[in-house]
Chain A
Amino acid sequence: MLATVVSSTLVGVDAVPVSVEVHVANGLPSFSIVGLPDATCREARDRVRAALESSDLTWPMKRITVNLAPGGLPKTGAALDLPVAIGLLVASEQILAAQIEGLGAFGELGLDGSVRPIVGALPLVDAVPAPRVIVPAGDARVTALVAGSRIRPVRRLRDVVDALNFGLPWPDVDMTLPDDPVEPEPDLADVRGQGQARAALEVAAAGGHHLLLVGPPGAGKTMLARRLPGILPDLTHDDALSVTRVHSAAGLRLPPSGLVTRPPFRAPHHNTSMSALVGGGSRSSRPGEISAASGGVLFLDELGEFPPSVLDALRQPLEEGVVRVARSGWTHEHPARVLLVAAMNPCPCGEGGSVGCRCQAPERARYSRRISGPLLDRIDLMVHVDRPSTSALLSVDPGEASWAVAERVAEVRAMSATRGAHSNAEMSDSLLDDVARLDEPATAMVAEALDGGRLSARGLRRLRCVARTIRDLDDGGDGLRETDISAALQLRARPPIGGDHV
């Protein structure tokens, strides 16, 4: 007899529908599973068999064939355990076929018959083509975010059989969303001095401009970067869902409420491989760090130590906000709308050519060549972070607290939203012409910078975006003034201490 249960499988950060067809026929007892299952998926046989037996159900001693359709699509993970088990129960007439009309399912089975939460529950539940979906109780909250009343959470396989065969109620799972414990984010009040870097952080947060912090070791670059998420506003509901979707697919820990509401902060180490950073894999497509940071901050500490090839792979995603990973068999698009914050030393010894720097010209040239011009071009803000002075360190006055900065940032973000842009850094050309007109002195200043070779045509566009953010932070008035342009020019990325060009 044949039974079909609908489910879904993960493809990158999205999921696609899968039909699980189970055929039970007379013949020598056997179990085969076809339709490009990966190793985890293939091992479903042992889990399903033990789970059935632990749940007082019968494993049919017949010829069992499981087909995962569409056959050409690779299936990953253990999420298909539960649909295989249900299909098997229907095909062996332990559940009535009529009962699974309009019912989909996914979940991993334990040998004791329990149903375990799985990676990617949020995209998976979206993709199941059925009005009702059986989900693991552990995933109830996160799936409820998008599927609401469609879901039927279960704790063990027996719950499914009881509900379908005997009309018992579906188990009662606590679906009230607990408030996420407020995890204290590092506060800007801890930072002493560093006026320029603080201002740059504020501009970066308000406008979504990428930022590079340059300074000697111990100056507080990492400390500053970790305080950036704290001044970013909460994610909007749409953004929160898409971030949660990616985190779910990447198997990252979700907050107790199931929904990621704060901007993520990811800080991959500099030995991270290219596929781990931008996403990929040979057979399946895993979202990389840049996608995990989407909606939040991607912090690359010791930028100069990252392999140049890995850094250059960031160029396209930074430009487009999505990363397209292509392999011979497939192409996937992952979200990659990050605020990039990078930190580096000005030279290998860290002192940056000032007193005490003992780097030789060739070493410094090699170091500065590691960061390509095109990448620097995409970084709008670059500031020098020096070791704080003794008086600043010993001062008892705390710096301005994060909440106060966050309020100004949120105001600017709201202004961008009113203009119809996601952030000031992503304004379209026509919008830019509309809201970033230069007044006369500002035009003269820009002209001088262009003539002096300190600004390129491409740089001008980004300069206006940054200047707009600076004006928004100041008074939000129309047009751009000399002060806005001068600040934006001074904050613009310049190549770090060069090698041969003195």
Chain B
Amino acid sequence: MSESKLAALAALPGMSSRRLGQLLDERAPADAWALVSEGKAPAVPQDHRSRWATCLAGVDLDQVAARLAALSCRVTSWHDDDHPPALRNDIDPAPVLFRQGELPDVATPTVGIVGTRRCSGPGQEIAFELGASLSEAGVSVVSGLALGVDGAAHRGAVAAGGVRPVAVVGSGIDVVYPVRHRELWAQVASVGCVCTEAPVGAEPEPWRFPARNRLIAAMSDLVVVVESRAAGGSLLTVDEAVRRGIDVMAVPGSVKNGAADGTNQLLVDGCAPVRSADDVLMALGLATIDSAIRRSGGRPAPSGDAGVVFAAIDDGPTSVDEIVHYSGLELSAVYLALERLMSSGHVVADGVRVRRS
């Protein structure tokens, strides 16, 4: 019952995390429920107290419980042991958290990957690669499941199938936003965790996103900004991270790329640059040169024609004509080698070109 009571309390009109915090301050959900039902909610105006009492009187707790069960949604408060410690001990803590799926182990290092929704193609690729490499290297990727950088980072983490990724969203757990990420949302929830402070049914209202960003910052050991515009929302996450003394790193972008103005400014301001996942792993103290070699050495190196072709694909996406030119092989031999390299996972198609995976 305590979960449904928490859910009902969080869904009260005009409820904020500050008010919820005061209500649950050294008070169990059942006590808080009783207090509000009697019209004695602390630190809120009088008209709220009576309105909330009326609201709670109309709540069918069984129905709330059934709804939560149908969504496979867990609700925890900061009194609970499985509430993320990072959110309990935060300077601006989250008193209640709704979540689908399993959070990673408490000891797992976490990296927030954030950035603009309107990112460039390379930005999207970098976010994907960072998400995949970090996840593979044992880091949980925390992001916001938004379009652009956030989604690409999550996709990478899901594709790599490494450590559980965490998505912190701004809407209710049953309101998929953006709708285009419905599939990704479900994937993250199945291999990791989708969580939110917003009550069930909450629409993605604009004010919820800055609050969401603070949770991303709070849950991360390190925040990486992949691409951000000069006044982008991801810079709010950066501010939240700075308030908490969490390191921020930024991916350098072209000075002509408007989507990288914000990240380049971060570099000017003294953030460490990210060239690859290794830079992030070094900053976390997880990587040495050895581990970087170990990760790429999982597969046997290609040999024969395949090796020649693989060597010709060393510098980003490469066209077949370029491979023929650099390898000196016949076109048909290149095709055969490429097909084998694709089967073994060394090379992937990048649109109409190929590149190392």
Q: Which residues of A are interface residues toward B (Cβ below 8 A)?
A: 193-197, 199, 214-215, 346-347, 352-355, 357-362, 364, 382-384, 386, 389, 445, 448-449, 452, 454, 474, 482-483, 485-487, 489-491, 494-498, 500-502
B319 contacts A by Cβ under 8 Å: yes
Residue of chain A at shortest CB distance from B259: A360
| B243 interfacial by beta-carbon distance below 8 Å | no
Q: Does B296 contact A (CB under 8 A)?
A: no
Partner of A194, one of B321, B338, B342: B321
Counting CB contacts under 8 A, is B29 at the interface? no
> What residue in chain A is nearest B256 (Cβ atoms)?
A358
Q: Please, could you name 14 A-B residue pairs with CB atoms under 8 Å apart, sorted by A?
A: A196-B321, A215-B352, A352-B352, A354-B353, A357-B120, A359-B120, A360-B121, A361-B118, A361-B124, A384-B353, A485-B339, A494-B351, A496-B352, A502-B152
| Contacting residues, chain B, for A364 (C-beta < 8 A) | 121
Q: In the complex, what's the smallest C-beta–C-beta distance from B213 to chain A, in angstroms?
A: 20
Residue of B nearest to A501 (CB): B155
From B184, which residue of chain A is reached at the shortest CB distance?
Answer: A500
- Give the docked Cα–Cα distance between A359 and B121 (Å): 7
Assuming A454-B342, A490-B338, A502-B152, is B321 touching A386 (CB within 8 A)? yes
B185 proximal to A (CB < 8 A): no
Chain B residues near A215 (CB-CB < 8 A): 352
Cβ contact within 8 Å between B121 and A353: yes
Q: Would you give the shortest CB distance from B70 to chain A, in whole angstroms?
A: 29
Q: Contact string, B269-292, partner A, CB cutoff 8 A, digits 1/0?
A: 000000000000000000000000
Query: Please, which residue of chain B has its CB at the minimum distance from the CB of A486?
Result: B339
- Cβ of B302 within 8 Å of any chain A Cβ, yes or no, is no
Closest CB in chain B relative to A152 CB, distance in Å = 58
Known A196-B324, A214-B352, A494-B352: A361·B343 in contact at CB below 8 Å: no
Which of A199, A346, A449, A497 has a CB less than 8 Å from the CB of B343? Answer: A449
CA distance in complex: A195, B332 (Å)? 11
A353 to B350, CA, bound (A): 9
Chain A residue numbers with a CB within 8 Å of B316 are: 354-355
Pair B352/A353 contact, Cβ less than 8 Å: no
Shortest beta-carbon contacts, A-B, top 9: A384-B352, A486-B339, A497-B351, A502-B128, A487-B335, A353-B121, A486-B336, A490-B335, A196-B320
A354, B338: Cα distance in complex, Å: 20
Most buried by A among B124, B256, B324, B340: B124
In the complex, whether B125 has a CB less than 8 A from a CB of chain A is yes
Q: Which residues of chain A are near B343, meaning CB under 8 Å?
A: 445, 448-449, 452
B320 x A490 contact (CB < 8 A): yes
- Whether, in the assembled complex, B13 has its beta carbon less than 8 Å from a beta carbon of chain A, the answer is no
Which residues does chain B contribute within 8 Å of A354, judged by CB atoms? 316-317, 353
A352-B352, A502-B155 are known contacts. Are A362 and B118 too (CB-CB below 8 A)?
A: yes
A482 CB contacts on chain B under 8 angstroms: 336
- In the complex, which residues of chain A have a beta carbon less than 8 angstroms from the beta carbon of B321? 193-197, 384, 386
- Chain B residues, CB < 8 A from A382: 352
Q: How many chain B residues touch A (Cβ–Cβ < 8 Å)? A: 43
Give the CA-CA distance A445 to B339 in the complex, in Å: 8
B148 at interface, CB cutoff 8 A:
yes
Q: How many whole Å from A345's CB to the nearest CB in chain B?
A: 11
Within the complex, what minimum Cβ distance (angstroms) separates A471 from chain B?
A: 11
The answer to whether B335 and A352 touch across the interface, beta carbons within 8 angstroms, is no
Q: A496-B351, A502-B152 are in contact. Are A360 and B331 (CB under 8 A)?
A: no
Contacts A360-B119, A361-B124, A384-B319 known; list 5 others, CB within 8 Å.
A196-B320, A346-B351, A353-B122, A360-B259, A483-B335
B residues near A452, Cβ cutoff 8 Å: 342-343
Instruction: Indicate whether A195 sits within 8 Å of B351 (C-beta atoms), given known contacts A497-B121, A502-B124, A502-B128.
Output: no
B162 contacts the other chain (Cβ, under 8 Å)? Answer: no
1/0 per residue B313-357: CB within 8 Å of A? Answer: 000110111101100000111011011101100000111110000
CB–CB B352/A361 < 8 A: no
> Would you give the 0/1 interface string for B146-165, flagging 1 where the beta carbon is closer than 8 Å to chain A?
01100110011000000000
CB proximity of A347 to chain B, nearest CB, Å? 7
| List of B residues within 8 angstroms of A495 by Cβ | 351
B352: chain A residues at CB < 8 Å are 214-215, 346, 352, 382-384, 494, 496
> Could you say which of A199, A353, A474 contacts B317, with CB atoms under 8 Å apart?
A353
Instruction: Determine if A386 and B319 form an interchain contact, defined as CB atoms under 8 angstroms apart.
Output: yes
What separation, in Å, do the CA atoms of A140 and B259 have in the docked complex?
A: 68
Closest to A196 in B: B320
Q: Is B257 close to A, CB under 8 A?
A: yes
Q: Is B180 an interface residue (CB 8 A)?
A: yes
Q: Which of B156, B320, B339 contacts A502 (CB 8 A)?
A: B156
Report B105 CB to chain A, min CB distance, Å.
28
Q: Chain A contacts of B256 at CB under 8 A?
A: 358
Report chain A residues within 8 Å CB of B336. Answer: 482-483, 486-487
A360 lies within 8 A of B120 (CB): yes
Contact A489 B339 (CB under 8 A): yes
**Which residues from chain A contact B319 at a C-beta distance below 8 Å?**
196, 384, 386
B342 neighbours in A (Cβ, 8 Å): 452, 454
Q: Which residue of A lies closest to B344 (CB)?
A: A448
Partner of B147, one of A197, A352, A361: A361
Distance in angstroms from B181 CB to nearest chain A CB is 8
* Least Cβ–Cβ distance between A270 and chain B, in angstroms: 20
Taking the closest CB of chain B, its distance from the CB of A44, in whole angstroms, is 56
Contact of B124 with A195 in the complex, beta carbons under 8 Å: no
Cα A361 to Cα B319 in complex, Å, equals 22
